Structure 1
């Protein structure tokens, strides 16, 4: 293992260590442990996957860069509500790239 790899591994572990310390510690029974954090493990994972889908859809669209930035910020700052607002009010059909079929010559 080279020195650069070793140093980068140590730095990565030092950067990730505070995340483990930031997790809530329950002194109660583990009955309500699913309520900690961002809504629980499975619910948080579903929201994360749907938000990533929204980010990819926004970034692949033909919107101007300012509109892309605004939509990404809305979804990033308000993950659930921003995703709902995007799907209801974004006029996605007008900005789809490659939508529809091309006519053959």
Structure 2
């Protein structure tokens, strides 16, 4: 039951990040009709997972915001840089 409560507490943040990412995403994620392409959905899902991972880390708020900004501003490059160079530890659940 605790895992369900923990998951439902994260839903508003996930919904907010999803809305912001779709609204502010680069044009390369869209196909000719203006809808998200398959690659856009994959990248969006990976960015959301990375953002959730950033905020689960036991870092200072400044470091969390810096990594979140890097991932948000550079969706693909920030994702790669985060997973290669962030020095992530075991996230506490």
When normalised by structure 1's length, the TM-score is 0.54
Query: Which structure would you say has the larger RCO, counting Cα contacts within 8 Å and 6 or more residues apart?
Result: 2
Within 2, Cα distance between the matches of 1:45 and 1:73?
A: 20
Unaligned runs of at least 5 residues, structure 1: 1-18, 20-32, 99-105
1:29-70 deviation line (CA, Å, top 9, x unaligned): xxxx946769x5100000000000000000111110000000
Alignment-derived partner of residue 75 in structure 2: 79
Alignment-derived partner of residue 45 in structure 1: 41
1:21-60 → structure 2 map (5 Å cutoff)? 34=31, 41-60=37-56
Aligned equivalent of 2:91, options 92, 96, 103: 96
Shift in alpha-carbon separation, 1:91–1:45, aligned structure 2, 3 A: same
Give how far 1:96 is off: 2.2
Count of aligned pairs: 65
Within 2, Cα distance between the matches of 1:81 and 1:36?
A: 25
Q: Which structure features the higher share of helix residues?
A: 2
